[in-house]
Amino acid sequence: MARRSGLGAGVVAIPDSTATHVVRAALRGKRFRVGDYVLQGLLLLTLLIALGVLVVLLGSVAVHGVPVLKQRGTTFLTTTNSTFPFLAGVKQGIIGSLELLVIVLIFAVPLGVGAAVYLEEYAKDTRLNRLLVTNVRNLAGVPSIVYGILGLIIFAEFLKPLTGGLTVISGGLTLAVVVLPILIITSSEALRAVPNSIREAGFGVGATRWEVIRSHVLPSAAPGIFTGTILTLARALGETAPLLLVGALLGFFSPGNLGFWGQLRGPYTSLPTLIFSWSTQPNPEFRNLTAAAIIVLMAVLLTVNAAAIVLRNRYERKW
Amino acid sequence: MAQVELSTSARLTAADLAGNAHRRRKERAIRVAFLSAAGFSILVSGLIVLSLAGKAVQFLTLIHPSQLLAGGWFPRQESFGMATLVAGTLIVSLIAMVVGTPLGLGAAIYLSEYARPRVRRIFKPILETLAGIPSVVMGFFTLNIISPRLVQFLFSGAYLFNLMAAGIGVGILITPLIASVAEDSMFAVPGTLREAAYGLGAKKRVTSLRVVFPAAISGIVAALILGISRAIGETMVVAIAAGATGNSLFTMNPLNYGQTMTTAMSSLAIGSDAVGGGKAVFASLFFVGLVLFALTLLLNVGANRFVRRVRRRY
Amino acid sequence: MSESGEDMDAPTVTRSDPAERSIHLERAARERPTELPDDAEVVFEIKDLGVSYSGVRAVENVSLNVYENQITALIGPSGCGKTTVLRCLNRMNDLIDGARVEGTLRYHGVDLYEAGIDPVEVRRRIGMVFQKPNPFPKSIYDNIAFGPRIAGFKGNMDDVVERSLTRAALWDEVKGKLKTSATALSGGQQQRLCIARCIAVQPDVILMDEPCASLDPIATLKIEELMYELVSDYTIVIVTHNMQQAARISDRTAFFTVGIKDGGHRVGTVVEYDLTDHIFTNPKDPRTEDYVTGRFG
């Protein structure tokens, strides 16, 4: 191929020199590298497997569960558990899970956000404070069933006068302790994301540390803290193991006519506990029930997750 | 809030700069409040150890050490073979890692190095959703799909309740965890490092595997250790998929049914052993819990220390 | 050196004949003291100030006096401690972990670092404008109102806001949109907003840490004009790595440099401190002369 020389009026074709040929060939290289594409394909495959699992899972749950919901409709949500699959509903599970969530909210959020504020805004880099951070990280890795033991001994036994023993209050406190480390970590990250220049500006006009935190840091970090809280709550919603040690019941129980406060100090269960209980039942009818209950649980979870993502995108601000 | 008087008559004194005592006291009180919130986390650690220690030690006094070496875990029959539980935990965790590591790291490398922003925006939420699947749901999936259609399909000798299926289920459960931690770590590798590699003529495959991956190795190892730790601590998937009876003979065969430390604990909790089988049975719950806690604590401390050591070098 | 007329012409710096070895400057309209007035009020009396961060010396042997209603500039190459010294003046270094301050720092005769002094109160009286404009992510109004509010001001906030913005030469540009976000303003406007925010708590001193570093030349000029306006009511100390800016606007200049100590690490110190005219036309120390004539730095 010849070069074109654009000199003025005429376009003269100048034959390529050998040097040009050599350079061009070298630059082209080997266009088709098998190894590269194979790797990319393999990697994409792993991602697709993950996606595929999700699809199959949701699919099988839908196949088994949707007929039940179609057949039973909202009564599924409003009837209590039973040994007979045709009579069993998730009402007690839903009530229990909601009560647990509220208790977790009340206890875990102030403690978690408060600890994060201390670690990020107040703490100097001392040994004690580094110990605090390490401790939180270690707590985040403790298996949730171990927290169940804490719940059993401390909340259900030691604090029995306050909690009433193996009640939903003890269960809620246990779950609060389970999610506390994660809440601290996500809140810390949200606080860390607030640019330091904002704090300096506040100090520069003579504000105290709390005034800077209250008026500027917390409002800026609020969206991040909020989404972190929601995701943590979603995680708490799905937890089962610790509750098994703190009294969540697997079978049918009647709360009796104790009224709201009395019922709080009585037996309880949660939606995931019901799912666990039903999935271990030999009666094959319960398999469909389990699937239906899973649909209810997943519906709640997906809504919560979606809400968190939407809110995060809406409030994510650029400085 | 008058401007500071600069006339010679009123000189500034230290008292003027002492500030508002009430405001200062309020600040101190608020600081203490936040400190206590942070201190609560240390209280939790203490309470965990406290809850475990007492009855765990009591358990050891109630039994003869030889019972710990029994050939199976049948707590109600006074057979407390810890090897059974450890073997079960080991098998499930190993299989989980065999499943979770390639899936997790593969997804991480792809999302970090290859995926276009649009692809990334679709797949990251999917990974996050996968991460949010409760373990009971995965247990159901394991028992009803993985076990019959995969494991029993491949291995004709397998029971419906088997450790391999449980391991696969746990592996899927920990994949998003490994993927997100590893991906964050690789994404954080500065672009200048990649550019240096490309500048030397390296192709993407070489760059990803030989440059970025090693640079992010601390985060990747941390991801794997977190994965193992989570796998060891997982309860519900195994409880549903590997049999919830709470008893098992010692086995190293993943196609068999078995018990892990966590499922043993949950079975002990559900059963009425507190009243029934005697104090040793109930106390065994705490002993197993203590072993489990110590194991995961060691792993996590090791992981943090590893991350810190390599990060300093980087 | 000639005094130009009332107009604020763009200052020029011309290099004279190399044999002369001095810089000619055209100064702005403001009267510059060529001698030290007898009754000049000392706002800051700094003696042997030294600062270390986590045990590592950053700055040492700084001694100088800052006088009332004057612009004092701290100049020198990067990393020689100018900002460190500036941040000592309003105890902002307290916010840095491991920062230790030695020596004496008196503000109107009071030792700023003695026990019982509340840094919050200090910062109310000694305000600061930062290198990169940092308005709060709130409305223009709320930016200005924040300082007075926390200081306990109970009067007419609208007045305070208007007065501060007027004084900072920003009122006309934003008076119709006080409730809009401050971060939507241009860089130069944001910096003037920060100055207004600083003024709103009625400080005595305004510290400026390279306030024009991230601004374009026109915005820079506006800020310099503002400084001329403000200095009649406030004392201004400015850190700048723009030598010509210091020559243009300041009354006194301190030249910092960095020396290598035995340990191999760098420590900043003040080489020379004098009236700006002297520093730029007749420096005593050869290092100063090298810097201001552009031989290095």
For C95, which DSSP code?
A: G
Beta C99-107 vs C42-53: how paired, if at all? antiparallel
- In sequence order, what are the residues at sequence separation of 6 or more whose Cβ sits closer than 8 angstroms to the Cβ of residue C186? C219
- Give, rounded to a whole angstrom, the gap between the first and last alpha carbons of chain A: 53
B contacts of C120 (beta carbons < 8 Å): 19, 23
Which residues of chain B neighbour A149 with C-beta distances below 8 Å?
48, 51-52, 285-286, 289
Residues of C with CB under 8 A from a CB of A: 90, 92, 95, 97-98, 120-125, 127-130, 132, 134-137, 146-147, 150-151, 183, 194, 197-198, 200-201
Question: How much is the mean pLDDT over chain A?
Answer: 83
**What residues have CB less than 8 Å from C278, skipping those under 6 apart?**
C284
- Tens digits of residue pLDDT in C168-198: 999 999 989 999 999 999 999 999 999 999 9
Mean pLDDT of B207-230: 82
Please give, rounded to a whole number of angstroms, the shortest distance from the CA of A261 to a CA of chain B: 26
A248 band by pLDDT with thresholds 50, 70 and 90? confident
SS3 C92: helix
CA-nearest residue of chain B to A47? Answer: B107
Quick one: which of B313, B262, B314 has its CA closest to B291?
B262
Enumerate the residues of chain C whose CB falls inside 8 A of the CB of residue A215: 136, 146, 150
**The token pair that represents B186 in the structure block:** 């690789």
b/e A280-297 (16+ beta carbons within 10 angstroms → b): bbeeeebbbbbbbbbbbb
Per-residue confidence band for A166, with pLDDT thresholds at 50, 70 and 90: confident
Whether residue A279 and residue B232 make contact (CB cut-off 8 A), yes or no, is no
Contact B167, B96 (CB under 8 A): yes
pLDDT value for B183: 83
- Give the pLDDT confidence score for residue A16 in this predicted structure: 67
pLDDT tens digits along C93-143: 988 888 999 999 999 888 999 888 889 999 999 999 999 999 999 999 999
Helix (H), strand (E) at residue C148 = helix C140-150
The average confidence (pLDDT) of chain B is 82
pLDDT at C39: 65
C-alpha torsion B34→B35→B36→B39, nearest 10: 130
Residue A257: its pLDDT value, please?
63
d(CA C194, CA C150): 17
B105: pLDDT strictly greater than 80: yes
| Residue B103 near residue A205 (C-beta atoms within 8 A) | no
User: DSSP string spanning chain A?
Assistant: --EEE--SSS-EEEPPPHHHHHHHHHHH--S--HHHHHHHHHHHHHHHHHHHHHHHHHHHHHHHHHHHHHHHTTHHHHS---SSTTT--SHHHHHHHHHHHHHHHHHHHHHHHHHHHIIIII--S-HHHHHHHHHHHHHHTS-HHHHHHHIIIIIIIITHHHH-SSSHHHHHHHHHHHHHHHHHHHHHHHHHTS-HHHHHHHHHTT--HHHHIIIIIHHHHHHHHHHHHHHHHHHHHH--HHHHHTTB--S-----S-HHHHHHTS-B--HHHHHHHHHT-SSTHHHHHHHHHHHHHHHHHHHHHHHHHHHHHHH----
What b/e string do you get for B219-228 counting C-beta neighbours within 10 Å, with b at 16 or more?
bbbbbbbbbb
Chain B: give the shortest CA distance to residue C107, in Å: 8
Choose the mutation target among A127, A197, A205 for the interface with C, i.e. most C CBs under 10 Å.
Answer: A205
Helix axes C140-150, C187-200, angle to 10 degrees: 20
* Residues of B whose CB is below 8 A from C151: 1
Does the pLDDT at position B25 exceed 80?
yes
B275, pLDDT greater than 60: no
Percent of chain C with pLDDT over 70: 86
The strands making up C110-111's β-sheet, listed across from edge to edge, are: C110-111, C99-107, C42-53, C56-67, C266-275, C252-260, C71-75, C235-239, C205-209, C126-129
A-B CB pairs within 8 A amount to 250
Which range, of B191-200, C18-27, C34-43, averages the lowest pLDDT? C18-27
Rounded mean pLDDT of A114-138?
90
Q: Which secondary-structure segment (H or E) carries C189?
A: helix C187-200
User: How far C177 CA lies from chain B's nearest CA (Å)?
Assistant: 27
CATH superfamily to which C2-292 belongs: P-loop containing nucleotide triphosphate hydrolases (3.40.50.300)
Q: pTM (2 decimals)?
A: 0.84
- Fold topology of A71-315: MetI-like fold (1.10.3720)
Of A124, A200, A208, the CB nearest to C134: A200
Q: Which residue has the higher pLDDT, B38 or A29?
A: B38
Q: Inform me whether the pLDDT recorded for C270 exceeds 50.
A: yes
Dist. CA C178–CA A157, nearest whole Å: 59
Range in A79-83, A203-207, B89-93, C40-44 with the lowest mean pLDDT: A79-83
User: For A140-158, how does the pLDDT look when each residue is reduced to its tens digit (9 = 90+)?
Assistant: 989 999 999 999 999 988 8
CA-based nearest distance B86→chain A, Å: 15
Asked whether A313 and A287 are in contact (CB, 8 A), the reply is no
- The whole-angstrom separation of Cα C115 and Cα A284 is 77
Note the pLDDT tens digit of each residue in C58-68.
998 899 999 99
How many Cα atoms occupy the beta-carbon half-sphere of B299 within 13 Å? 24
CB contacts, 8 Å: A122 with chain B: 31, 34-35
Query: How far is residue B253's CA from residue B235's CA, in Å, rounded to a whole number?
Result: 20
Integer Cα distance of B193 and B199 in angstroms: 10
**What mean pLDDT comes out for the span A62-68?**
85
Cα–chain center distance at B33: 30
The per-residue pLDDT for C87 is: 94
pLDDT at B244 over 90: no
d(CA C133, CA C190): 6
**Is there a contact between B109 and A43 if contact means CB atoms under 8 Å apart?**
yes
The pLDDT tens digits of the residues spanning A19-63 come to 777 777 666 665 556 667 777 777 778 778 878 888 888 888 888
Give the separation between CA A286 and CA A274, rounded to whole angstroms: 11
Nearest chain A Cα distance for residue C1, angstroms: 38
> How many C-alpha atoms does B243 have within 13 Å on its Cβ side?
18
Compute the distance between CA of residue B139 and CA of residue B142 in angstroms, rounded to an integer: 5
Query: Degrees (nearest 5) of the Cα angle B99, B102, B105?
Result: 130
What percentage of chain C exceeds 90 in pLDDT?
51
Residue C5 has pLDDT above 60, yes or no: no
Residue C256 vs residue B254, higher pLDDT:
C256
ipTM > 0.90, yes or no: no
Chain B, residues 57-86, CB within 8 A of chain A, namely none
B72-74: strand order across its sheet: B79-80, B72-74, B248-249
Domain regions of chain C by residue span: 2-292
What is the arithmetic mean of pLDDT over B265-292?
Answer: 78
Q: What percent of chain A has pLDDT over 70?
A: 88
> How many of the other CB atoms lie within 10 Å of CB of A234?
21
Mean per-residue pLDDT over chain C, rounded: 84
**Residue A277, token pair as written in the block:** 């209980």
Taking chain C, what is the end-to-end CA distance rounded to the nearest angstrom?
Answer: 24
Q: A145, A231, A302: which to substitute to probe chain B, counting the most B Cβ within 10 Å?
A: A145
Report DSSP state, residue C285. S
Tell me if chain B has a CB within 8 Å of the CB of A258.
no
**Distance separating alpha carbons of residues B286 and B52, to the nearest angstrom:** 5
Cα gap B257→C125, rounded to integer Å:
75
- Per-residue DSSP letters for chain B? -PPPP-SSSS---GGGGG--HHHHHHHHHHHHHHHHHHHHHHHHHHHHHHHHHHHHHHHHHHS-GGGGG-SEEEGGGTEE-HHHHHHHHHHHHHHHHHHHHHHHHHHHHIIIII--HHHHHHHHHHHHHHHTS-HHHHHHHIIIIIIIIIIHHH-TT--SS-HHHHHHHHHHHHHHHHHHHHHHHHHTS-HHHHHHHHHTT--HHHIIIIIIHHHTHHHHHHHHHHHHHHHHH--HHHHHHS-SSS-EE----TTS----HHHHHHHHHHSSTTTSS-HHHHHHHHHHHHHHHHHHHHHHHHHHHHHHHHHHH-
The residue ranking higher by pLDDT, C153 or C5, is C153
The yes-or-no verdict on residue B63 having pLDDT over 60 is yes
Q: And the tokens for C151?
A: 């200081």
For residue B236, the model assigns a pLDDT of 92
Query: pLDDT-based confidence at A209, cuts 50/70/90?
Result: very high
Band (pLDDT 50/70/90 cuts) for residue A216 is very high
> Is the pLDDT score of A120 beyond 50?
yes
Domain parsing of chain A, residue ranges: 71-315
Cα gap C123→C131, rounded to integer Å: 17
Scanning the structure block, which residue is given the tokens 């640019």?
Answer: A195
Residue of A nearest to B267 (CA): A244
Per-residue model confidence (pLDDT) at position B6:
37
Average pLDDT for C201-205:
92
Q: How far apart are CA B104 and CA B181, in angstroms?
A: 9
The strand ranges marked E within C118-226 are: 126-129, 205-209
Q: Which amino acid would we find at residue B94?
A: L
Torsions phi, psi of C170, nearest 5?
-125, -10
Residue C247 reports pLDDT greater than 80: yes
DSSP C216: -
DSSP 8-state class, residue C9: P
B73-101 exposure pattern, b = at least 16 Cβ within 10 A, e = fewer:
bbbeeebbbbbbbbbbbebbbbbbbebbb
Sign of CA dihedral B51, B53, B57, B59: positive
* Lowest mean pLDDT segment, chosen from A282-291, C45-54, C249-258: A282-291
What confidence tier does A218 reach under pLDDT thresholds 50, 70, 90? Answer: very high
Backbone angles phi, psi at A237, to 5 degrees: -60, -35
Q: Residue type for C240, please?
A: T
| C7 SS3 class | coil
Q: Taking the C-alpha atoms of B263, B264, B266 and B271 in order, what is their torsion angle to the nearest 10 degrees?
A: 140
